[in-house]
Amino acid sequence: MLVVQKYGGSSVADAERIFNVAGRIAECYDQGNDVVVVLSAQGDTTDDLIAKAAEIDPNASKREMDMLLSTGEQQSVALMAMALNKMGYAAVSLNAMQVGISTTSEYSNAKIKLISRGRIEQELERKNIVIVTGFQGINKYEDITTLGRGGSDTSAVAIAAALRADKCEIYTDVNGVYTADPRVVKDARKIDEISYSEMAELASLGAKVLHTRSVEIAQKYNVELVVRSSLTREEGTVIKGENSVEKILVSGVASDKDVARVTIEGIDDKPGKAFEVFALFDKKKISVDIIIQSIGRGGTNDISFTIEKSSLKNVIQLLEEYKEKLGAKKITFDDKIAKVSIVGAGMATHSGVASLMFEALYDAGVNIKMISTSEIKISVLIDEKDEESALIAIHDKFQLAMQSLRQN
């Protein structure tokens, strides 16, 4: 079998952890498998590098940031190959240039376009264990790019897809994907199986366990994923096609504090105004999430929407500039908010899920500021200070609802 394993930063944080992981890699190799390993930077290395750059220039160019951040992964692959060599295994480390991982040009948020199989396959034929840098690629200018924070998952899945690997295992410091963040919700349970679509939603709605893109690629190329711990032998969570997964009402609850709400007050109630506003953001590549337009009164509307906190300064600046042209009266914002969401494939066919969620929030005395729904998710925007109580209340409510559904 051809197995791709990915180990996150905490799994390779120090020499002891590196040898622990090397042991697991060796075990897989000894079972007769071809093994390709993708690694993240050790521990807090990426954050430390970002801090280092900030000492020089907090607004350093993204090209140079990528040049710098990509060194973290280069350290871990070399160290891992050394550990395996020391244990008597043939291993070779490769970076994105050596493998041929081509990405789009945008620095710090590049997307993988193509992965050459030649070099990796050559090394596998030589019976080497191949250790590849996660998180990085090369663009058409032959510059190093990075894939966004947490992007090593995406490297691993893309490599597994390119090599048509039989297995793709994502090793981390938790036992799998949970129904909620176990540090906040004590009753959170490990999920045994979850569909690609649900996992993609959970990841993009704030569950930190997998990079969203990695799940999208897994779905597109039908790569079955397992998320499990590098520190225990416990079975992890399997992520696979919708049809082979039991449709559960609500699979998980996630929350995201990286959101800000912006409101444009008193825009003229005329065709083309929403277009004008959002075309502006589109041009600047600012992504907008929930959008609500109020019912017009006295010939004007309010439009509220959410964005990532990091774009807030930009967005406010932009809107202040264009305020007059848009015919808007006032721009306001709120960045002390959280987006709490529930995800479940079963909600498409079960009514009453939204009202259960709202009931839980009511019980907990949490006020809802905005609501958005899709086939398999419901999100609410609430005060940041209510995040924890909301998560616990919603999780409790659905745990009870699921028990009673099972009994029926």
Positions touching Mg ion (CB under 5 A) are: 9, 40
Closest by CA to 194, choosing from 2, 9, 37, 376, is: 376
d(C-alpha 394, C-alpha 399), whole Å: 9
Contact 6, 236 (CB under 8 A): no
Q: How far is the CB of 150 from ligand ASP (least distance, A)?
A: 5
Select 13 or 356, whichever has its Cβ closest to ligand ASP.
13
Query: Among residue numbers 4 through 33, which ones bind ligand ASP (CB under 6 A)?
Result: 8-9
Select the binding partner of residue 134 from ligand ASP, Mg ion, none (C-beta < 5 to 8 A, by kind): ligand ASP
Select the binding partner of residue 137 from ligand ASP, Mg ion, none (C-beta < 5 to 8 A, by kind): none
Select the binding partner of residue 135 from Mg ion, ligand ASP, none (C-beta < 5 to 8 A, by kind): ligand ASP
Select 151 or 236, whichever has its Cβ closest to Mg ion.
151
DSSP 208-249: TTS-HHHHHHHHHHT--EEEEESSS----EEEE-GGGS---S
Residue 340 CB neighbours (<10 A) = 27
Contact 218, 198 (CB under 8 A): no
Site membership for ligand ASP, residue 151 (CB under 6 A): yes
Q: Is 340 helix (H, G, I), strand (E, B) or coil?
A: strand
Stretch that binds ligand ASP, among 143-151, 178-186, 304-312, 382-390 (CB under 6 A): 143-151
DSSP 26-73: HHHHHTT-EEEEEEPPSTTHHHHHHHHHHHH-TT--HHHHHHHHHHHH
One residue of 33, 79, 134, 266 binding ligand ASP per CB under 6 A = 134
Q: What is the sign of the dihedral through the CA atoms of 120, 123, 125 and 127? A: negative
Select 151 or 236, whichever has its Cβ closest to ligand ASP.
151
Q: How far is the CB of 208 from ligand ASP (least distance, A)?
A: 11
Site membership for ligand ASP, residue 152 (CB under 6 A): yes
Select 236 or 266, whichever has its Cβ closest to ligand ASP.
236
Site membership for ligand ASP, residue 46 (CB under 6 A): yes
The DSSP secondary-structure symbol of 117 reads -
Q: How far is the CB of 9 from Mg ion (least distance, A)?
A: 4
Q: How far is the CB of 72 from Mg ion (least distance, A)?
A: 9
Cα–Cα distances (Å) from 85 to 82, 122, 172, 188, 261, in that order, read 5, 18, 23, 40, 52
* Residue ranges binding ligand ASP (CB under 6 A): 8-9, 40-41, 46, 72, 134-135, 149-152
